[in-house]
C-alpha cells in the first residue's frame, strides 16, 4: 500500500466486504461471509413481476418467470468466486476503486439451470458472436451512466457449467448476491457473474459497454487496449494461526506443532501444489493437498508447521495443472487487477 | 475524516462491514447485510459439545446445552443494533480502530430465552452486583490478551427484554453473529451484545476487564476515567435517492417529486420527530413518521422531497421522546464513540 486510503475508497470498503480469513477453513462459505462487491445499489426486485428477457439474434425470444426457470433442469455446482481486483491495494501506485487486500473470495454451492439448453431453445441466429448479460443495477462509472452489463463469447457462454443461478447454498439468492437470478461462469473472475439479471441478448458484434471496454482490462495506460480479464489466476489463502491482535491482525502462536489450514484455487485447472514459507518467502516446503476438490471449487490443504520461538512471516503459494503459479511480484497494471502475490501473515511464536 | 486510512484500519474494514444504505428501506435487515464487528476471530463451535456455564455468586450453578436453552420459554424481539464506534472516522482527530462512517447498524428479529428467569433459577447471591458475559473469542487488544467480556449492572441484566438469543430472523445464529448463543440487550450499543457466549458469571465487585474499563468509555484522554458507553443516542439514516456514482457514491436524481425513505432509532425512547434538510442543514422540514415501530426497533419515515435542479446536500436528524436529538457537531472523544451527527448525501438533480 502507498498513501492512506481515501474517503471514497473507505465508503466502498464499508459497504462491501471480504471473507474473514479464518473462514477459509470452511469448504463452503456461508452467504453472509462470502466476499461481496456491489458496483451500484442493490436493486429492489418483486419476484412476481420480474421476468428474464432472452432476445437479440434468436429465432424465438423468450420471457421467463422465476418459476419457469425453477422448473427447468437444475444443476448445483460448488464454485469459487474471486474479485478481479483482489490484492489491488497491494499493487502500488494504487488504482482508486474498491480497496481490496487479499480476501475478496468465497465458495458457495450455486443452483440454477444451465444456460446452453435455454439458448438452444431460443434458437441462435447464424451471425451470433457474443451473449450480453444485463443486470437491473444502474449507476455511473467513469462518467458514463449505464446498466451493469458484461458479455461472453458464444463458446464461453455455451459451456456446460455456465448456470443461471437462483439459489446459493440451498437458499434463494440473498438480495446482495443477485436475487432473483445471477449468472455463474465457473473459473472466471467475479465481474463475469452478472447479478440481478434482467436480460440475455445475443449479438453479432463485440459488445462495447463500459464494464467490458473500459473496466477489467490489463493495461498500463488508458491508451493501450490491453487484454481482458477472464479466468482466475491461481491463489492460495490460509487461516492465520493462533490468536489475533484486534487492531493490526498480527498473530500470537504457542511454540510447537501448529496445523496450518488453507485452500487454493485457479480458473485454469486443478491445483497440483501448495507451498508454505515461514521465513518471508526465503524457503518453501510442500503442503499436503486434500484428496478431491470439485472441479470449480477451491482445494483444501494442510501444513504441519513446527512453530519455533520468535517472529515469523508466513506465506503460501499455489500452482495449477496448467503450470501457472503465484509470483513473488506481479507486474503492475492500471486497474489493479489479477494481483495474485502470496498472502503474508506476521506471527509471533512464544 | 483527517488523514488517509491506514493499512491496519483497512484490514478491519475488509473483514467487517456496514449496512449498504439502500437497505435501510427494509424494516428487518437480512443477516448478510446487518453490520458486523468481530473483535478477534470467529470461533469454530461444535454445538453438540458447547455448554453455557452460569456461575459465580449463585446458589445453583447451571450448565446448559443449546437444546436446554431452546426448550425454555422463548421470545422474539426486533432489535436495532448499532456499533458505538459508528461515525468514528467523521470525528477527527481520528481514533485508530474500525473506521466506521455512518452505516454500522442493522435491525434483526432475535429469538431467545429471557435471561432474568434463568438467573432467578440459579438463585442470585445477596452480594450480587453485576453479571459478566464471556465470549469464546480471544485475542489481544491494547496489549492485553483476553477473552471478549462485558458486564451489566444487575438491574440492567434483569430487565424483561434481555435475551439469550439463538436465532436471528428465524434461522440459527449465523457464525459471524455469535453462533450458538449471544446476548441481546435492547437499546444498548453493539459492544453489549456479547457473541459466542460461553459463561455468565454473577459477581460482587465492578467488573474491570479490558473491554469494560479501557474500551467503550467517553473521555478526552486515558487519564480521565470518563463515562461508560451504554444506550444508543438517536440517529436516523435514509436511503440515498436516485442512482449512485460507483466510486464517490454521489447521487443523480431526476427533477420532480422524490420520495425519501429512512429509519430512525434511539436507546432512550421512541422516535417522535425526524427532520430533513436539502440545503446542507440550513433549513429543515418534518418527515412523516410511520405509525408503529416495535419498542426496540427503528421507526420508518418518509419525506416527499421536491427535487429542484442543481446540487443539494441532503441530511436527516431524529429526536426521541426523552428529548435527545442529533447535534450538528458532537464533542470529540478519544475512542470516537457515539458520533450521531446527521448523515449527509450529495445529490445532483437534473
Query: Using CA atoms, how far apart are residues A63 and A49, in angstroms rounded to an integer?
Result: 12
Whether chain B has a CB inside 8 Å of the CB on A39: the answer is: yes
- Does B139 contact A at CB distance below 8 Å? yes
- CA triple B145-B148-B152, angle to 5 deg: 130
| Closest to B165 measured CA to CA, from B183, B179, B148 | B183
Q: Which of B8, B31, B40 sits opposite A32 (nearest CB)?
A: B31
Q: What is the 3-state secondary structure (H, E, C) of chain A?
A: CCCCECHHHHHHHHHCECCCHHHHHCCCCCCCCCCECCCCCCCCCCCCCCCEEEEECECCCEEECHHHHHCCCCEEEEEEEECCCCCHHHCCCCCCCCCCCCCCEEEEEEEEEEHHHHHHHHCECCCCCEEEEEEEEEEEECCEEEEEEEEEEHHHHCCCCCEEEEEECCEECCHHHCCCCEEECCCECHHHCCCCEEEEEEECCCCCCHHHHCCCEECCCCCCCCEECCECCCEEEECCCCEEECCCCCEEECCEEEEEEEEEECCCCCEEEEEEECECCCCCEECEECCCCCCCCCEEEEEEEEECCEEEEEEEEEEECCCCCCCCCCCCCCCCCCCCCCEEEEEEEC
| Closest Cβ opposite residue A33 in set B20, B33, B176 | B176
Residues of A in contact with B248 (CB under 8 A): 8, 11
Packing angle between helix B7-15 and helix A7-15, nearest 10 degrees? 30
| Residue B346 bridge partners (DSSP) | B313
Selected for mutation to probe chain B from A41, A174, A345 (highest B CB count within 10 Å) is A41
Return the closest-CA partner of residue B255 out of B335, B171, B350.
Answer: B350
pLDDT, residue B239, reads 98
Percentage of residues of chain B with pLDDT beyond 90:
98
**Interchain CB contact of A6 with B (< 8 Å):** yes
Q: Is B15 within 8 Å of chain A by CB?
A: yes
Q: Count Cα neighbours of B190 within 13 Å in the Cβ-side half-sphere.
A: 24
Interface residue B244 vs chain A (CB under 8 A): yes
Chain B positions in Cβ-Cβ contact with residue A145 (cut-off 8 Å) = 243, 252
| Exposure of A242 in the CB half-sphere (CA atoms within 13 A) | 24
> Cα torsion at A26, A28, A31, A34 (round to 10°)?
70
The answer to whether A14 contacts B100, with C-beta atoms less than 8 Å apart, is yes
**Phi, psi dihedral angles at A142 (to 5 degrees):** 60, 30
**Structural domains in chain B plus CATH codes:** 7-228 (3.90.420.10), 235-349 (2.60.40.650)
Find chain A residues with C-beta within 8 A of B138's C-beta: 243
Buried b / exposed e along A59-79 (16+ C-beta atoms within 10 A): eeebebebeebbeeeeeebbb
Between CA B340 and CA B231 the distance in angstroms is 12
Closest Cα in chain A, distance from residue B7 (Å): 7
- Longest pairwise C-alpha distance within chain B: 70
Q: Does A33 touch chain B (CB under 8 A)?
A: yes
- Chain A contact for B16, CB < 8 A? yes
* B350 touches A: beta carbon within 8 Å: no
- The answer to whether the CB atoms of B18 and A14 lie below 8 A apart is yes
Q: Is B192 on the interface with A (CB under 8 A)?
A: no
CA separation for the pair B124, A23 (Å, rounded): 39
Q: State the pLDDT at residue A305.
A: 98
Give the distance, in angstroms, between the CA of residue A176 and the centroid of all CA atoms in the same chain.
15
Mean pLDDT of chain B, nearest integer: 97
Chain B contact for A147, CB < 8 A?
Answer: no
> Cα dihedral sign for B250, B254, B255, B256?
negative
pLDDT at site A201: 98
B/e letters for A249-280, b = 16+ CB within 10 Å, e = fewer, are: bbbbbeeeebebbbbbbbbebebbbbbbbbee
CA gap B287, B275 in Å, rounded: 5
Do the chains contact at A41 and B9, CB–CB below 8 Å?
Answer: no
Kindly tell me the sign of the dihedral angle through the C-alpha atoms of A179, A183, A187, A189: negative
A4, A101, A140 ranked by CB distance to B3: nearest: A4
Residue B228, strand partner residues = B217
For the segment B164-177, the average pLDDT, to the nearest whole number, is 98
Question: Residue B171: its pLDDT value, please?
Answer: 97
Contact status of A103 with chain B (Cβ, < 8 Å): yes
Cβ distance A246 to B139 less than 8 Å, yes or no, reads yes
Q: How far is CA B163 from CA A222, A227, A316, B348, in A?
A: 56, 55, 43, 45
Question: Rounded to an integer, what distance in angstroms lies between the CA atom of residue B66 and that of residue B197?
Answer: 11
Please write down the HEC assignment for all residues of B105-139.
EEEEEEEEEEHHHHHHHHCECCCCCEEEEEEEEEE
Tell me how far apart the alpha carbons of residues A127 and A329 are, in angstroms, rounded to a whole number: 43
| Position B2 pLDDT exceeds 80 | no
Residue B243: CB atoms within 10 Å: 16
Residue B239: closest C-alpha in chain A: A41
Pairing of strands B105-114, B144-153: unpaired
Of all residues in chain B, the one with the smallest CA distance to A16 is B17
Compare CB distances from A139 to B39, B138, B244 and report the shortest one's residue.
B244
The 3 state secondary structure assigned to chain B is: CCCCECHHHHHHHHHCECCCHHHHHCCCCCCCCCCECCCCCCCCCCCCCCCEEEEECECCCEEECHHHHHCCCCEEEEEEEECCCCCHHHCCCCCCCCCCCCCCEEEEEEEEEEHHHHHHHHCECCCCCEEEEEEEEEEEECCEEEEEEEEEEHHHHCCCCCEEEEEECCEECCHHHCCCCEEECCCECHHHCCCCEEEEEEECCCCCCHHHHCCCEECCCCCCCCEECCECCCEEEECCCCEEECCCCCEEECCEEEEEEEEEECCCCCEEEEEEECECCCCCEECEECCCCCCCCCEEEEEEEEECCEEEEEEEEEEECCCCCCCCCCCCCCCCCCCCCCEEEEEEEC
Mutation target for B interface from A40, A240, A246: give the one with most B CBs within 10 A: A246
Bridge partners, B300 (sequence order) = B263
List of chain A residues with pLDDT < 50: none
What are residue A287's phi and psi, to 5 degrees?
-85, 165
C-alpha cell at A271: 491445483
Could you tell me how far CA B241 lies from the centroid of its own chain?
A: 24
Would you call the peptide bond into A133 cis, given omega within 30 degrees of 0 as the criterion? no
Q: Taking CB atoms and an 8 Å cutoff, what residues of chain B touch A21?
A: 15
Q: Does residue B341 contact residue B315 with C-beta atoms inside 8 Å?
A: no
Question: Chain A contact for B92, CB < 8 A?
Answer: no
Q: What distance in Å separates the CA atoms of residue A20 and residue B11, rounded to the nearest whole number?
A: 10
pLDDT of residue A1: 74
Half-sphere exposure of A35 (CA within 13 A, CB side): 29
Any A CB within 8 A of B11 CB: yes
Q: What is the mean pLDDT of residues B254-268?
A: 98
B positions 59-78 inside 8 Å of A (CB): none
Question: Is A20 in Cβ contact with B41 (below 8 Å)?
Answer: yes
Cβ proximity of A90 and A101 under 8 Å: yes
Q: What spatial distance separates the first Cα and last Cα of chain A, rounded to whole Å?
A: 29
Q: What is the chain B residue with the closest CA to A12? A: B247
The residues that bridge with B320 in the sheet, in sequence order, are: B271
- B259 part of contact set with chain A, CB < 8 Å: no
- Quote the minimal CA–CA distance from A94 to chain B in Å: 13
Distance from CA of A243 to the nearest CA of B (A): 5
Amino acid at each position: 500500500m502507498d498513501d492512506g486510503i481515501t474517503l471514497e475508497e473507505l465508503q466502498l470498503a464499508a459497504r462491501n466486504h471480504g471473507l474473514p480469513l479464518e473462514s477459509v477453513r470452511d469448504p463452503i462459505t456461508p452467504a453472509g461471509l462470502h466476499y461481496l462487491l456491489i458496483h451500484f445499489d442493490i436493486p429492489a426486485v418483486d419476484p412476481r413481476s420480474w421476468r428474464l428477457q432472452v432476445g437479440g439474434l434468436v429465432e424465438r425470444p423468450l420471457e421467463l418467470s422465476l418459476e419457469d426457470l425453477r422448473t427447468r433442469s437444475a444443476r448445483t455446482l460448488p464454485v469459487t468466486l474471486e474479485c478481479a481486483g483482489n490484492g489491488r491495494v497491494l499493487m502500488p501506485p494504487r488504482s482508486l476503486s474498491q480497496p481490496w487486500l487479499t480476501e475478496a473470495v468465497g465458495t458457495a454451492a450455486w443452483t440454477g439451470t444451465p444456460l446452453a439448453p435455454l439458448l438452444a431453445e431460443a434458437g441462435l441466429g447464424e451471425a451470433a458472436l457474443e451473449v450480453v448479460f444485463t443486470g437491473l443495477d444502474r449507476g455511473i462509472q467513469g462518467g458514463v451512466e449505464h446498466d451493469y452489463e458484461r458479455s461472453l463469447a458464444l463458446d464461453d457462454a455455451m459451456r456446460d457449467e455456465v448456470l443461471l443461478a437462483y439459489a446459493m447454498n440451498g437458499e434463494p439468492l440473498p438480495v446482495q448476491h443477485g436475487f432473483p437470478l445471477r449468472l455463474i461462469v465457473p473459473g472466471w473472475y467475479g465481474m463475469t457473474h452478472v447479478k440481478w439479471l434482467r436480460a440475455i441478448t445475443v449479438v453479432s458484434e463485440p459488445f462495447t459497454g463500459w464494464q467490458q471496454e473500459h473496466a477489467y482490462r490489463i493495461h498500463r495506460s488508458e491508451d493501450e487496449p490491453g487484454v481482458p480479464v477472464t479466468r482466475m489466476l491461481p491463489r492460495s489463502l490460509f487461516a492465520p494461526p493462533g490468536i489475533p491482535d484486534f487492531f493490526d491482525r498480527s498473530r500470537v502462536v504457542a511454540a510447537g506443532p501448529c496445523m496450518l489450514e488453507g485452500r487454493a484455487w485457479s480458473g485454469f485447472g486443478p491445483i497440483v501444489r501448495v507451498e508454505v514459507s515461514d521465513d518471508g518467502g526465503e524457503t518453501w516446503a510442500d503442503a499436503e493437498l486434500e484428496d478431491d476438490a470439485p472441479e470449480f471449487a477451491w482445494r483444501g490443504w494442510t501444513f504441519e508447521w513446527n512453530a519455533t520461538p520468535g517472529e515469523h512471516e508466513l506465506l503460501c503459494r499455489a500452482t495449477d495443472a496448467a503450470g501457472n503459479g503465484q509470483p513473488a511480484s506481479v507486474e503492475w497494471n492500471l486497474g489493479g487487477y489479477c494481483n495474485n502475490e502470496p498472502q503474508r501473515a506476521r506471527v509471533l511464536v512464544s
